[in-house]
Amino acid sequence: MLLAALVCVILAGCSRKSEPDKYSLSGVWIMTHAEYPVPELSEDFPDADGKTLCRIYEGDSVFYECWIRTMKPGQPQNVMTASDVIIVPKSKCVCTLIQKDGAGNPLYLEDGSVRPVRFLSNTSMTIQKVGIVFSWTLAKEMKQERIAEIKEIIANNLSSAGEMRQFVLPTTERQLEAANSQLKTTAHTLAYIIIILVLVVLLIVYVAINVSRKKRRVEQQLRQMSEERELRPQPVRQAMAEVEEDFLHSEFYLSLRRRIAAGEMLREEDWKEMEQRMKSVWPAFSNRLFDLCHLSELEYRVCLLIKLRVSPSEMAALLSKDTSTISTVRSRLYQKVFQRKGSSKAWDSFILSM
């Protein structure tokens, strides 16, 4: 009983070993070599022009055939994965692969004619036609999108006698269009950046020129003011000093100082009256001050109070600010006019000299 079972196992193993491997044509096959019946005559593919034959088998019954080559002849490229390829539709044929029992190769029929086929492995085979042995390799690297496009082009554009129509794969066209679109976008972006940079540079130059002009104008005004003081005749100086002294002893000024000392807040009408009274004593004071720099309302009122000999602490109470804020305003005004750092007292001296 045991011996009979052992014999069955051995016979089953021998039977399995004698069965031929099952092969299939399904997939994309690229021709890699052609061996001619003439002694020592053969050809490798892709050739020098980057061209080879491509077959797309639908199962074991139909195949689509075309020439396929790279768009860069003379450069070794893999036509299966190259981004720039051209195809020339050739034919669509009916084929049949019959698996033979027992030892031997399958029987291959192409358009009703027998073509000896020999599978070297699952990815390579040879097909003999008119004495020429063509070697084929399975192109597993080719993407399904490209396969579908090649099949569609072949099916719709089969070559007529003497006609060789070339097609750039749509995938390549889309890549080129995408590249062109990206290039245009990059060019537009670069143009916008250049325009913005030019505008920024022009703005910087404009601001620099204005600042320089303003600086020269302020320097000229300061020189004129200094020259006026130095060249002012003694009688004029004395008359101006007397007018100023009379104002500082006037009832308006003394009343104003009492109100400030008492912590009374000034109304808008009081500020306007103060400005008018001061113009009668120092006519050019306000205009010259605004010619030197732009002043906020707080800065202008600080300058008026300096001219009226009001102390920083009294200014702070009158303007509802901290004493430190008043000091900062004065030193900042000095820097705005003279373009260098200076103390708050230096600004007070300048205002009193105007």
Q: What is the per-residue pLDDT across 2-14, written as a single tens digit (0 to 9) for each?
A: 445 444 544 554 4
Query: How does residue 1 score in pLDDT terms, banded at 50, 70 and 90?
Result: low
CA 286 to CA 301: how far, in whole Å? 11
> Quick one: pLDDT at residue 273?
92
CA 252 to CA 243: how far, in whole Å? 14
Q: What is the mean pLDDT of residues 234-253?
A: 88
Asked if residue 76 has pLDDT above 70, the reply is no
> Quick one: pLDDT at residue 74?
56
CA 112 to CA 95: how far, in whole Å? 7
Query: How does residue 98 score in pLDDT terms, banded at 50, 70 and 90?
Result: confident
User: What value does the mean pLDDT of the chain take?
Assistant: 83
CA 47 to CA 32: how far, in whole Å? 9
- Residues 6 or more apart whose CB falls under 8 angstroms from that of 108 comprise 95, 96, 97, 98, 114, 115, 116, 117, 127
Query: How does residue 221 score in pLDDT terms, banded at 50, 70 and 90?
Result: confident
CA 339 to CA 215: how far, in whole Å? 8
Q: β-strands 117-121, 124-129: how paired?
A: antiparallel
What is the token pair recorded at 181? 């679109």
Percentage with pLDDT > 70 across the chain = 85
> Quick one: pLDDT at residue 158?
77
Q: Which amino acid is at 198?
A: V
Report field, pTM of the whole predicted structure over 0.85: no
Assigned CATH topology for domain 18-168? Lipocalin (2.40.128)
Q: What is the mean pLDDT of residues 10-27?
A: 60
Max mean pLDDT range (30-34, 138-142, 292-296, 339-343): 30-34
Q: What is the mean pLDDT of residues 178-195?
A: 83
> Quick one: pLDDT at residue 32?
93
What counts of helices (H) and strands (E) characterise the chain?
11, 11
> Quick one: pLDDT at residue 179?
65
> Quick one: pLDDT at residue 223?
81
Query: How does residue 343 score in pLDDT terms, banded at 50, 70 and 90?
Result: very high
100-121: buried (b, 16+ CB within 10 Å) or exposed (e) per residue? eeeeeebebebeeeeeebebee
Query: How does residue 222 score in pLDDT terms, banded at 50, 70 and 90?
Result: confident
Higher pLDDT, 270 or 74: 270
**Which stretch of DSSP H or E encloses residue 125?**
strand 124-129
> Quick one: pLDDT at residue 10?
46
Q: In 3D, which of 84, 91, 36, 119 has the Cα closest to residue 44?
A: 36
Per DSSP, the residues of 26-60 read -EEEEEEEEE-SSTT-EEESS-TTSEEEEEEEETT
CA 120 to CA 107: how far, in whole Å? 15
pLDDT, tens digit, for every residue of 119-177?
898 899 999 988 899 999 998 888 888 888 889 888 888 766 556 788 887 555 555 55
Q: Where are the domains of the chain?
A: 18-168, 234-353
